[in-house]
Amino acid sequence: MSPLVNPAYMGSMRHLTRVQFDRLVDRMSEVRVVDPRTVISRQDNPLEESLLLCKGLMGRYITDQGGERRRLVALQVPGDFVDLHSFPLHRLDHDVACVEECHLAVFKHADLLALMEEDADLGRKLWALTMIDASIHRHWAFRISAMRALERIANFLSEVEIRLAEDNTPVGDSFRMPLTQAELGEACGLSTVHVNRVLRDLREDNCLILRDGRVTVLDRARMQRVGGFDPYFLYPPQNVVVG
Amino acid sequence: MSPLVNPAYMGSMRHLTRVQFDRLVDRMSEVRVVDPRTVISRQDNPLEESLLLCKGLMGRYITDQGGERRRLVALQVPGDFVDLHSFPLHRLDHDVACVEECHLAVFKHADLLALMEEDADLGRKLWALTMIDASIHRHWAFRISAMRALERIANFLSEVEIRLAEDNTPVGDSFRMPLTQAELGEACGLSTVHVNRVLRDLREDNCLILRDGRVTVLDRARMQRVGGFDPYFLYPPQNVVVG
DNA sequence: CGTATGCTTGAATCACGTCAACTGATGTGG
DNA sequence: CCACATCAGTTGACGTGATTCAAGCATACG
């Protein structure tokens, strides 16, 4: 088994107290290492366990009937449960897949149930985690609905920078962002070609550079201003510095 | 006091058993009647109660900093909790407002907490309700992101028809849909003018007619086909017929 | 009465999508 | 080793779906 990476107290896990986090990790079944692009679960599959992302990026995807149009409806970063909503719902309305190689801590629903029975407050914290997830969904809907391409991309990258902050070993003013331009388009409701042009504009404006899976932030204030970015929707835990 | 309309066992309440529903209603504090366009709560307001919509339509709105761009990110119909997510989150990331006159059953968070302690299964059902809400958010993001205007409107109206089904006294093949064209645009990410043109197209295609706050469905199969509609994301309760 | 609100339509504009071609990096098998 | 395929990125030309601006109409309301 030998979990190469154990769950770390980071990202959304910081909404739990340290004690609650340790109590949760005690219930973990195993850590799985999953290849890039692997589909973890598909729409309508019955699920009996939930997965905590320890390393790597994952996405949640909605595809239409024909299967030709696919959209990224959520991006999960280390410290996120990727399918905790399957605990109350049992089946999901979307697919879950790895963007890159991922390490996933497995929690059986039966074990989560037992844990919540002995710590009701932790149960409500887990509920709150799924509600922050929903807040992010609303923000995504707003972003796609109300913002133009340039603003969308700047806003999206501002969000990702904050959510990945703890996962990043800082390299100057850059952060890891392994989504391809096509995947960025799937997330922001834009064609690959247009994403490419917007990124050129942002680069030529000395705002940011996306290259080789890294975003180099040339002017953070500008990036967040261009993106009309307000991190409220992320419900940042108190002990994490934002902005 | 005299609640004109008491909570009815309808809509998303059907995910609860009849016994659970009665147990919930026992904990109700009061029923409030609220004027059209009233803002019930604003972003960041601390909340200590949640509201169950008994009659009327309500919306959840995100506005940007300037306040000039407002979007509808959720529509609530009778049988929906409009802000149950404030139970785990305490503050919301958006505003909640009435579209028309509404009747709202009030549940204090302290009472919900006590109820969930004595019926843990009901607690998980309430969690599930908020997760269906999140599923609808994902669908809205997909709709705005992946569909063109005609498809969006047809899809939106297909969704609303099903969600309002139990609330409707059937008048031929029509259902009540009191959103203005401007509000439809706020929900679907379209300008008022374009919503108007799309509605003209749908009318001239003998698909549906929106007039005087009612949608007359001329060809339901066509409406759902044009809208690429699949009701999976609504997680319809077993005892309700869909389609 | 006048004013506000919702609906409707036309004309001009533009943001973005589509199609197509080309580059460079990486990988693979003969 | 080279020939070839594949994939991410890039750019130009062109088309179009949707926005914006503007004007006009109908209804409701004080």
Instruction: Give pLDDT, residue A241.
Output: 52
What distance in Å separates the CA atoms of residue B51 and residue A107, rounded to the nearest whole number? 33
Instruction: Give pLDDT, residue B5.
Output: 74
Nearest protein residue to nucleotide D19, judged by CA and C1' positions:
B191
Q: Identify any residues that bridge with A41 across adjacent strands, giving them in sequence order.
A: A96
The amino acid sitting at A84 is L
Q: What's the pTM value of the predicted model, to 2 decimals?
A: 0.96
What distance in Å separates the CA atoms of residue B89 and residue B93, rounded to the nearest whole number? 10
Question: At which residue do the structure tokens 């707003």 appear?
Answer: A142
What distance in Å separates the CA atoms of residue A39 and residue A37, rounded to the nearest whole number? 6
Nearest protein residue to nucleotide C8, judged by CA and C1' positions:
B196
**Does pLDDT of B240 surpass 70?**
no
Q: Which two tokens mark A122? A: 């932790």
Instruction: Give pLDDT, residue A83.
Output: 98
Instruction: Give pLDDT, residue B175.
Output: 96
- Sign of the torsion formed by the C-alpha atoms of A184, A186, A187 and A190: positive
> What digits encode the pLDDT tens for the residues B138-186?
999 999 999 999 999 999 999 999 999 998 877 789 999 999 999 999 9
Per-residue buried b or exposed e for B36-64, using 16+ beta carbons within 10 Å of the residue's own CB: eeeebbebeeebebbbbbbbbbbbbbbbe
The four Cα atoms A165, A167, A170, A176 give a dihedral, to 10 degrees, of -90
- With beta carbons less than 8 A apart as the criterion, state whether B42 and B134 touch: no
What is the DSSP annotation of A139-158? HHHHHHHH--HHHHHHHHHH
The amino acid sitting at B118 is E
Q: Indicate the length of chain A as a whole number.
A: 243
B73-78: average pLDDT: 98
**Does pLDDT of B65 surpass 50?**
yes
Q: If you count residue pairs, one on A and one on B, with CB atoms under 8 Å apart, how many are there? A: 121
Q: Indicate the length of chain B as a whole number.
A: 243
What distance in Å separates the CA atoms of residue A15 and residue B49, rounded to the nearest whole number? 22
Task: Give yes or no for CB of B37 within 7 Å of strand C.
Answer: no
**B70-76 vs B58-63, strand pairing mode:** antiparallel
**pLDDT tier for residue B85 given thresholds of 50, 70 and 90:** very high
Percent of chain B with pLDDT over 70: 96
What distance in Å separates the CA atoms of residue B117 and residue B134, rounded to the nearest whole number? 24
What distance in Å separates the CA atoms of residue B227 and residue B222, rounded to the nearest whole number? 8
Task: Give yes or no for CB of A134 within 7 Å of strand D.
Answer: no
Calculate the angstrom distance between C1' of D25 and CA of B49: 46
Q: Which two tokens mark A219? A: 């002017």
> What digits encode the pLDDT tens for the residues A5-40?
789 999 999 999 999 999 999 999 999 999 999 999
Q: In what order do the strands lie in the sheet with A49-55?
A: A30-34, A102-108, A49-55
Q: Identify any residues that bridge with B210 across adjacent strands, giving them in sequence order.
A: B215
What distance in Å separates the CA atoms of residue B144 and residue A144, rounded to the nearest whole number? 7
**pLDDT tier for residue A239 given thresholds of 50, 70 and 90:** low
Chain B residues touching A87 at Cβ < 8 A: 127
Task: Give yes or no for CB of B199 within 7 Å of strand D.
Answer: no
Nearest to B97 by CA among B36, B159, B31, B33: B36
Q: H helices within chain B, ranges in order?
A: 18-26, 86-89, 109-118, 120-146, 149-163, 181-188, 192-204, 220-226
Task: Give yes or no for CB of B86 within 7 Å of strand C.
Answer: no
> What digits encode the pLDDT tens for the residues A193-214?
999 999 999 999 999 999 999 9
What distance in Å separates the CA atoms of residue B224 and residue A228, rounded to the nearest whole number? 36
**pLDDT tier for residue A75 given thresholds of 50, 70 and 90:** very high
Instruction: Give pLDDT, residue B207.
Output: 98
> What digits encode the pLDDT tens for the residues A80-105?
999 999 999 999 999 999 999 999 99
Percent of chain B with pLDDT over 90: 90
**Does pLDDT of B243 surpass 50?**
no
**Does pLDDT of B241 surpass 90?**
no
Using DSSP's 3-state secondary structure scheme, residue A75 falls into: strand
Specify the higher pLDDT residue, A108 or B239: A108
- With beta carbons less than 8 A apart as the criterion, state whether B102 and B57 touch: yes
Nucleotides of C under 7 A from a protein CB: 5-11, 15-20
Instruction: Give pLDDT, residue A169.
Output: 76
Chain A nearest-CA distance from B44, in A, is 9
Calculate the angstrom distance between C1' of C9 and CA of B218: 24
User: Does any CB of chain A come closer than 8 Å to the CB of residue B130?
Assistant: yes
Chain B nearest-CA distance from A10, in A, is 19
Q: Which two tokens mark A187? A: 């997330």
What distance in Å separates the CA atoms of residue A164 and residue A57, rounded to the nearest whole number? 10
User: Does any CB of chain A come closer than 8 Å to the CB of residue B191?
Assistant: no
- In degrees rounded to 5, what are phi and psi of residue A44? 80, -10
Question: Which of A126, A142, A183, A188 should we substitute to test contact with B (largest number of B Cβ atoms within 10 Å)?
Answer: A142
B119-133: average pLDDT: 97
